Chain A
Amino acid sequence: MIRVTNLTRVYRVGSVEVPALTDVSLAIEDKEVACIMGRSGSGKSTLLRQLGLIDRPTSGKVMLDDRDVTGLPEAERARIRLTCLGYIFQEFALLAELTAHENVCLPGMMASDGRGFEKKATDLLAVVGLEGRMHHRPKELSGGEQQRVAIARALINSPRFLFADEPCANLDMASSELVMKTLVELNGRLGVTIVFVSHDPSDRQYANKVLYLRDGRMVPEHDQAMQPGARQTGS
């Protein structure tokens, strides 16, 4: 379970303080698929980075499975990121010098002594439909393929939680649908708790919980619906 309590993140730009998140509290149950929605600059990606232990909040708490992970030292946070969390970036964040298979293997190699991760990486790439592209490097893959490699990589250590930051932002319609369906299918098959950020209202169909952010604060769905602007871009 993910529980966030009174989370605030303030960025400092010179002498000016810019609040990105203010007093956010939420709870996501195990095996849920949660979607964080909101307008550009609403703090969606900032919130996901706090959940994924990529950034530290200014105040408040992030609890993963009832464990407060907010103030843990960086080495311990890295260990949690490696073994319990999977993170999918908006911008196909693969390592350019590694093949698709190697990209998927890397966190597995870091987390285990054996070589079982190699077989698992092959299986995961097959699950995301890339069994024929395993030995291609990122520059030889399309955007949708790269994003599916990133999904496979995020799953290599069987994480309890998977975070996806606008995973379809740079994809065409067909690829977006394939990526989202893959995520939902993985949720069903592996029981991974998934939190994803999206600006596309149609993505709500993939989630069983939708959270709305406006100006860095959580708001009820009807408040969000009253805001002008049908489509928003990532923050």
Chain B
Amino acid sequence: MKRSLKVAFFLAKRAIGRGNIRVSILSISVMVLVYLNIALGPALIDGLVDLINDKVKTTVTGDILVQPDAGEDHIPDADALASEIESIDGVEAAVPINLVGGEVRYEGRRFPGYLTAADPTDYGTVFTTSEYMIEGSILDPDDTNQIVLGINVAGADKKFDASWASLRSVNAGDKVVVAFTNGLEKEYLVKGVFQTEMPYSDIKAFITNNELSLVSPELGDSATHLCVRAKKGCDLGPIMTEIRALREGLSVGTWEEAAGMVKTSVESVRSIYVIIEAIALVVAGLTVAMVTYIDLANRRRQIGIQRAIGITKRTIILAYAFRAFFLFAIGTIVASLVFVFVIVPLERQHPVHFSFGYILFPVNVPYLAAAAVLLGIVSLLSAAIPAWQATRMQVVDAIWAS
């Protein structure tokens, strides 16, 4: 076996070094394109997933969502609970939030739903919504009679789908009326409009806790839920266990459980890309097989001569496998370098804009490595199978019938 490997490696080295350089360059180019094709699709999906996940966490749910158990509407002593949660190792911040039923009205148009009441300062420690103001400014903790609207509530004269932009033309400085479910109607000055590009976030309307105490004083220090932000890289499991241990009657879940629909959508797109990747691999395999077949057709006599002088079939097949591996290795290395040092930096300078924001291609090393291994196996098989078939010919036929 050692001799076979030695001779096969020698033959492959000479075939690459002294063979048709154009065929080698063409084969490597195909390999580069196939690998980039395999790398780019999932990078787009991974970038999209990262974007959506990040937006969900930073504008909708936080890392952990704490709700009352089924049957309860509110968590009492929410501020105290938030402080207790913040003292847990790995927790960055926690904010109690109240959702209050109400309808925002403006010039005959209505936006029925919930108003989100929170302390703006605390809210800013968990969420980044304040970074997405497109008009006016965020609320101050002491603000009353003022409201901040998401773009899909206000519209702000943007050309959106009318079904989303419920109030269509509300801008900062305008006045809207909110009809609360407790029967109270109140006029609010729109202090600002934000646009996070996350639909779940952009349908929010914010008031302060101070304002909530005026319109629903019965809620006191309770909250419909708390959102928790964990320190970067912290394992959420132990934090959730500690939160559960703080009080009875709490339902504690991760952001992923809260944003299940987004996760399902992403998984569907990912499964489509698995099919596309499989097709790309088949194309790669067929290309290598085609190059090998053409090469074998031209070299049948040479293979016959090799066998006639005692080179074994196994050695000849190994030589083709080595050659395919070399072409694959060079192709994959070139493609990886192009992806990591050209495409990714270029895409970061000119990111692809999706409806949730700008997608940044991540460099997913385990995936790229797995794709390379898969492509390598496909390449080896695609070269070895035609070579094996060629060596099945009788020596005499290989030499004189070609």
A binds B: yes
> Is B309 touching A153 in the complex (CB atoms < 8 A)?
yes
A206 at interface by CB-CB < 8 Å: no
Q: Count of chain A residues with Cβ under 8 Å from any Cβ of B?
A: 33
B74 at interface by CB-CB < 8 Å: no
User: What are the interface flags for A80-100 relative to B under an 8 Å C-beta threshold, 1 for contact and 0 otherwise?
Assistant: 011101010100011111100
- Across the interface, name the chain A residue whose C-beta is closest to B397: A55
> Is B7 touching A109 in the complex (CB atoms < 8 A)?
yes
With A78-B307, A81-B310, A109-B7 known as contacts, the answer to whether A98 contacts B395 (CB < 8 A) is no
> Is B18 touching A137 in the complex (CB atoms < 8 A)?
yes
B109 at interface by CB-CB < 8 Å: no
With A93-B305, A95-B306 known as contacts, the answer to whether A110 contacts B311 (CB < 8 A) is yes
Chain B residues near A154 (CB-CB < 8 A): 309
With A54-B396, A55-B396, A113-B2 known as contacts, the answer to whether A87 contacts B10 (CB < 8 A) is no
A52 at interface by CB-CB < 8 Å: yes
A122-162 with Cβ < 8 A to chain B: 137, 153-154, 157
Shortest C-beta distance, B22 to chain A (Å), equals: 15
Chain B residues near A55 (CB-CB < 8 A): 394-396
B6 at interface by CB-CB < 8 Å: yes
The answer for the CA separation of A97 and B307 in the assembled complex, in Å, is 16
The answer for the CA separation of A56 and B3 in the assembled complex, in Å, is 27
Task: Determine which of A78, A83, A87, A93 lies in contact with B312 in the assembled complex, contact meaning CB atoms within 8 Å.
Answer: A78
B315 at interface by CB-CB < 8 Å: yes
Chain B residues near A97 (CB-CB < 8 A): 14-15, 17-19
Interface core residue of B2, B14, B301 (most chain A CB under 10 Å): B14
Chain B residues near A52 (CB-CB < 8 A): 308
B87 at interface by CB-CB < 8 Å: no
- Across the interface, name the chain A residue whose C-beta is closest to B20: A97
B270 at interface by CB-CB < 8 Å: no
- Across the interface, name the chain A residue whose C-beta is closest to B315: A110
A174 at interface by CB-CB < 8 Å: no
Chain B residues near A78 (CB-CB < 8 A): 307, 310-313
B83 at interface by CB-CB < 8 Å: no
A111 at interface by CB-CB < 8 Å: yes
B125 at interface by CB-CB < 8 Å: no
B399 at interface by CB-CB < 8 Å: yes
> Is B7 touching A110 in the complex (CB atoms < 8 A)?
yes
Chain A residues near B399 (CB-CB < 8 A): 54, 89, 93
A66 at interface by CB-CB < 8 Å: no
Chain A residues near B301 (CB-CB < 8 A): 93
B302 at interface by CB-CB < 8 Å: yes
Chain A residues near B305 (CB-CB < 8 A): 89, 93-95
> Is B6 touching A109 in the complex (CB atoms < 8 A)?
yes
A102 at interface by CB-CB < 8 Å: yes
Shortest C-beta distance, A105 to chain B (Å), equals: 9
With A54-B396, A97-B18, A98-B14 known as contacts, the answer to whether A106 contacts B7 (CB < 8 A) is yes
> Is B309 touching A81 in the complex (CB atoms < 8 A)?
yes
The answer for the CA separation of A96 and B10 in the assembled complex, in Å, is 14
Chain A residues near B14 (CB-CB < 8 A): 97-98, 102
Chain A residues near B308 (CB-CB < 8 A): 52, 54, 81, 87, 89, 93
A195-228 with Cβ < 8 A to chain B: none
A172 at interface by CB-CB < 8 Å: no
The answer for the CA separation of A42 and B310 in the assembled complex, in Å, is 27
A16 at interface by CB-CB < 8 Å: no
- Across the interface, name the chain A residue whose C-beta is closest to B6: A109
Chain A residues near B10 (CB-CB < 8 A): 106, 109
- Across the interface, name the chain B residue whose C-beta is closest to A87: B308
A230 at interface by CB-CB < 8 Å: no
B377-401 with Cβ < 8 A to chain A: 394-396, 399
A-B contact pairs, 9 of them (CB 8 A): A55-B395, A81-B309, A97-B15, A97-B18, A106-B7, A106-B10, A106-B306, A107-B310, A157-B310
Interface pairs A-B: 6 shortest CB-CB: A82-B310, A55-B396, A97-B18, A81-B310, A93-B305, A97-B14
- Contact residues of B with A, CB < 8 Å? 2-4, 6-7, 10-11, 14-15, 17-19, 301-302, 305-313, 315, 394-396, 399
Q: A81-B308, A82-B311, A157-B310 are in contact. List 11 more A-B contacts (CB 8 A).
A: A54-B308, A54-B395, A78-B312, A78-B313, A82-B309, A93-B399, A95-B306, A97-B17, A106-B7, A106-B11, A107-B311
